[in-house]
Each structure stands twice: as C-alpha cells, then as structure tokens.
Amino acid sequence: MSEKKPQFSPSIETQKSNDMVERPETPGQGGETHQHVIDHQRMTTSQGIPVSDNQNSLKVGPRGPALLEDFHFREKIFHFDHERIPERVVHARGYGARGYFETTDAIPELTSAHLLQEKGRKVPAFVRFSTVAGNKGSMDLARDARGFAVKLYTEEGNWDIVGNNIPVFFIQDAMKFPDLVHSVKEAPDRAFPQAQSAHDNFWDFISLMPEAMHMVMWTMSDRGIPRSFRFMEGFGVHTFRFVNADGKSSFVKFHWKPKQGLQSVLWDEAVKINGADPDFHRRDLWGAIQSGDYPEWELGVQVFDDEFADKFDFDVLDATKLIPEEDVPVRIIGRLVLDSVVDNFFAETEQVAFCTQNIVPGIDFTNDPLLQGRNFSYLDTQIKRLGGPNFTHIPVNAPRCPFAHFQQDGHMAMHNPTGRANYEPNSWKDGGPRADAETGFKSYPEEISGEKRKVRAELFADHYSQARQFYKSQTKVEQGHLADALIFELSKVETLAIRERVVAHLPNIDPDLAQMVSDGLGFEKLPKAHTPRRDVVDGLATSDALSILKNGPDSFKGRKLGVLVTDGIDGKVLKALKDAVKAVGGMIEIVAPTIGGIKTSDGKKVPADQKVDGGPSVLYDAVAVLATKEGVKKLKGMHAAKCFAADAFAHAKFIALDGEAAALFNAAGVTELDDGVVQVSDQDSAAKFIDKCKSLRFWDRMG
C-alpha cells in the first residue's frame, strides 16, 4: 500500500488547549451542589517524566509500525496487564470447547500457510468465547462485545485468531486500551456496577472519544446480546497479511460465519434470563455439544490488494472501520466444528493463553496500531497471569507439532533442553536446533519511512461515516432496539452533561436516531451536534451483512421449544410437537406445575425438565401451551405461569396452543391473539408451526 502524504490529527475532538476544565455540578457532602474548577496536574510516567501525548503510541510516520522505544506506552500497558491476578483483566468470564478446523478451499496462490495448501487438511482447535467487561462470576447475557478466540494447532505451530463477535473496536491505538477498560469496569471508589456499560464513567469516556461511535452502534445493537455463542459471528477485527510462497503479499480480514445463522435476544429477555439462568450461554454450548448438535462456523476471508486499499474511503489499518462485504466479498475457505467439551474447566478454559502474535508462515501483521499494541501486550499478560514464561508447557497451550529451542528453567518448567548445549551457535555434534532460512517464518519486507512521531493518519479521523452506514443497514426493528438501548444506557448516567455530549454525536450518524434518543431522555431540545474532524461520507451503500435479522436461521435447527403442560392433555399432540422439533434438529423441554411432571389423558407419565417458576418462557426460542380446562384453572393461580404466557407474547415469540390454553393468555392480560399464535392438534399442524418458527419471531406483534 503506497504511503499517503503525512497529515496529522488529534483523536479527541473536544480536546482543549488550556488546562482549566469546568466540571458539572456534583452533590456536596451536605447534599448541596458545588461548581468545581479543576486545575489538572501535569501527567507523568511513574518515574515522574512528563507525558506529551497520551492518545497515540510512537510510530514511524502516521501509518507506520509502533516503536519498542516508546517507554510511556510500555510502562502504561505493562502496568495495565499486571493489574489483576489470577483473573483475566478483560474477557474474564469465558467458556471453551474443543474441535477441529478443516480447509474446504485451498488458497496456495494467496498464502504459504501449510494448513491452507490443500483441501481437506484438518487440525485440532480450541475456542474460547467470553464477555469483555465482567468478572468470572458475572452473568452471560450482559450487553457487551463477545470474545471469539480460536487456537489452531497447525503443523507449523499454533495460530491464534483472537477476535470478537464485532468486526470493529472502540479505539484506534493501543495506548487508549487501559483507559477504555478502566472506564467500563466498576468504578474504583464503589466497585460497581459490574459487567455493565450503563454508567457515568463509560459514557463520559465515550463522549470524549468520537472514534468509538462506530463500535457503540454495534454494542447498542442486538449484536450486544446474542442468543448464544452458536448463533454469533466472529471476526479477526484487524487487517492482516497473506504472503504466498513467492513472497507476494495481500491484505486479509478474517470472518467466522455460523452455519446456524444469527440470532439475538430482546433486552427484557436478557435481564430476565440473567436472573433465571446466569449461565445461559455456557449451558447452551455444553448442551448442544453433549447432544451431538455440534456448532459449526465457516472461515471466510476478505482479500484485497494495495490498489483497493489506496482507493478505499477509509484506512484499512484503522480498527474502528470495516470493509463492507459488498465491496470485497467474503470467500469461504474452511470450517470450524466444536465437537468436544473440556475435561476440566480450569485446566483448559481458564489456562488457555491466546496471543495475537501467534501466527504461522504465510500469515503476517500490518501496521494497525491497535494490533501492534496487542502483539506487545498479550505475551506479557499471559506471563503475569499464568505465573511465568513457561505457560506454553500447559497442555492446552502446547503446540501439537514438534518444537525445539534453548529456553530453559523458569517458574513451572516442565521440559528443558537435553544434552550439553543450551546455547547457539555451538560446535557440538548434537548441538540442538538451528534456524532454518528456507522454511522459517519471515516477515514481509515492507518498505517503511517517515518521521518518528506520536501521530495518526488523517483518514483515521472519520468517526461517523461507517457508524451511519451500520445504522442505515439495520431493519426498522433493529433500529428501534438500538435507539432503546441508547436511551436505557444513558438513562443510567447521572450526569446531564455526559448524556448531552453523547447525544450530540448522534446527528452525525442519523438525525432521526438522535431525535429518538433525545426525546427518550426527555431533553427539551436536541443538543447541538459536535463538529466532525472530517466530513461525513454521505451515501455509503447499506450492507445486508451488517443486519442480524437479514442473516437469521433458515430452520428451527439448534433452537429450543418450551412446552408448558398440565395433567390430562392429549398425549398425541405433545408427541406431534416432539416429532416436529426432532425432525428439524431442534430441542424441546417440558415445563410443568411441578418437577414431577404430568399425566396425559391416557394415563401416561410425562416427566418435566423444568418447574414452571424455574423455566420461564425467556429461556426458549418458541413456546407451546397444552392445557385442559382444569389445568388452566390451576395455571391461572400461578404467577409464574401467567408470566410465562405474558412474556412469550410480549417478546413476539411464536406460540402453539391446544385445548383450553388460550384462557391462560387472557388471564395474563393478552386479550387478543394474532397470527403468531397457532392452534396445534395433529402432526401436520405441529410441523407447520415449527416451520413458522424459523422466522425467529412474529415481529408484526411489536409494531
């Protein structure tokens, strides 16, 4: 990619030239309010050295690689990496599984990576999914980005694709990562809120970092509350390089696309699921694998050259930007299948160590400043968290191919060099391993020049164009959810000025969205929009790939039907539902007034999977209620049963009814049923109902 003329831009549009900043009114000790004027202290390193720029890491030119001599960045990121032990600082709540990766389309013309040279090649894989902000004991369905980290045990060493379920990130330079995480974590003076972004610190930071607005659109969308790990995309986030055997380089972005399709929950469901089952995502993945319904993703790549990169409206090294699939189609080259749960959670899921630096010959880095910082940081993090430099001796982290080096001793060393030689070069006959100039890893010889400065490329300063594109690409239903999420989150922000600063970004994304959020927060008038650093690119084409609802499941496979039943029901109807669900590869759970279950009209015993107050409808993708007249009378007296019906209807689930079940909905306040409610009486009607459920929800019910 050719160098563009260096143009420099600060990353914070609201940065002031003076040191005097007026703080909003805050309660005093006696309940009164005071107007504070703070004379900020000069920022220094821990050695007392004054800091000139806390926004950008030192690099060669505005688009060049980061420099190791940046002592301020090293100190800042090292201190951040070592803040907690033994829990991960971020991505602490995770869940892992084993499986394999298989190449389905060989691409030797693009990369020399051994794994991708031949169709049908398989390697073992370990995958860890996670939330970002909460601790190990937090709930699964927090509104958050999700980690999607894949370790491939290849014949050339471990290749880690350490990404998220969102293709962009909040920040452009790793210098800001400690600040981002500090802002979203619990406040240090009160240690709450936990695993939530709906608080002053996070939105204060976001309001002052316009580069985060694209990621904010994603996290406030339904992507922030996925139905399960199995219905979630994964992305490598950064631009990497493919390098083929001839040394030719191409740029590449990695995509994991779920074969099951995309699916999310509603916010009200997420809140209730976290109460009913805070391990909902864990239980879902465990149950699917144990039942033989192995989750599967396709690995896709977007490959492009310098010419495309130079013509693209945005900088491909900017991690807050994506490349629309309509501009560069995703080519599917492999599949990832998870077919085994771990033997011990701590030994594998908790101790697995992913590093973005773990790449194999044929893959290489770019000068993305966030990726450069991650490469530097992750190794240090694992050394601290796992007790020393020998974390690769832990089985889950050890390569499955032969390895040889002269590293020795250290904390928990499980193997050391044998023989006399533990250094190189040496002249001993059995002197140990040597570098291999032919097959060893070689970095792509990119030409780099530029001034050594703390800067960013000018194209990095467009913070709103792709945020607008993302919002415009959502369906009306999804746009409504996004607006509701912003209103909810900002309603938890106590400081009015912060709420106003955030909303002032929204007109640059979409005026209607800005007005909806402003009205939802009760503002008398819409705050004046911030002036963009660069003009917003108008007319970017919408992208269907950015919408969940346009990429949902095409059947009920892998999803779950909850059936609320009472004594005396027709067993043939229940069997018809079970058969219909099984026929498409779905799951079914029986919910009853007692865990002992019920008896059908012919006296057959049906055990229950859940008692009604332990199996609310939010746990299911669709529901059925089969009840006799006497059974409905009993259910009407149970608050949990009425909530089961009311929530199922309110959350736009498809509902099957038999017998007198409609009366339960009337008792729950649902006086008029709609086309999303289906009467089932036999095998044919049950099959039609399950086919209807492939549409996820009856969205017409929500207006």
The tokens for 327 are: 């501009």
Cβ atoms of 244 and 110 closer than 8 Å: yes
The tokens for 617 are: 């409808």
* Cα 597 to Cα 618: distance, rounded to the nearest angstrom: 20
- Residue 281 designated active-site: no
CA atoms within 13 A on the CB side of 466: 30
- For 479, the 3-state DSSP assignment is helix
CA angle 91, 469, 228 (to 5 degrees): 35
Cβ atoms of 552 and 261 closer than 8 Å: yes
The tokens for 593 are: 């007034």
| Backbone angles phi and psi of 74, in degrees to 5 | -60, -45
* Cα 120 to Cα 541: distance, rounded to the nearest angstrom: 37
Instruction: Name, in order, each residue with C-beta under 8 angstroms of 393's C-beta and a sequence gap of 6 or more.
Output: 412, 413, 414, 415
* Cα 513 to Cα 531: distance, rounded to the nearest angstrom: 17
Distances in Å between the alpha carbon of 388 and those of 277, 374, 381, 395, 429? Answer: 36, 19, 10, 15, 32
Give the residue carrying structure tokens 């770019």: 366
The H-or-E segment that residue 681 falls in is none
Out of 56, 158, 164, 397, the active site residue is 164
Amino acid 648 reads A
The H-or-E segment that residue 677 falls in is strand 677-679
* Cα 221 to Cα 480: distance, rounded to the nearest angstrom: 9
Distances in Å between the alpha carbon of 274 and those of 208, 265, 280, 592? Answer: 31, 12, 8, 21
* Cα 99 to Cα 230: distance, rounded to the nearest angstrom: 14
| 100, β-bridge pairs | 124, 337
3-state helix, strand, coil split of the chain in percent (to 5) is: 30, 20, 50
| Backbone angles phi and psi of 264, in degrees to 5 | -130, 180
* Cα 87 to Cα 385: distance, rounded to the nearest angstrom: 7
Cβ atoms of 577 and 624 closer than 8 Å: yes
Out of 91, 281, 463, 651, the active site residue is 91
Cβ atoms of 553 and 694 closer than 8 Å: yes
- Residue 158 designated active-site: no
Give the rounded distance of the alpha carbon of 461 from its chain centre: 24
| 230, β-bridge pairs | none
* Cα 189 to Cα 367: distance, rounded to the nearest angstrom: 37
* Cα 59 to Cα 49: distance, rounded to the nearest angstrom: 20
Residues marked active site are found at: 91, 164
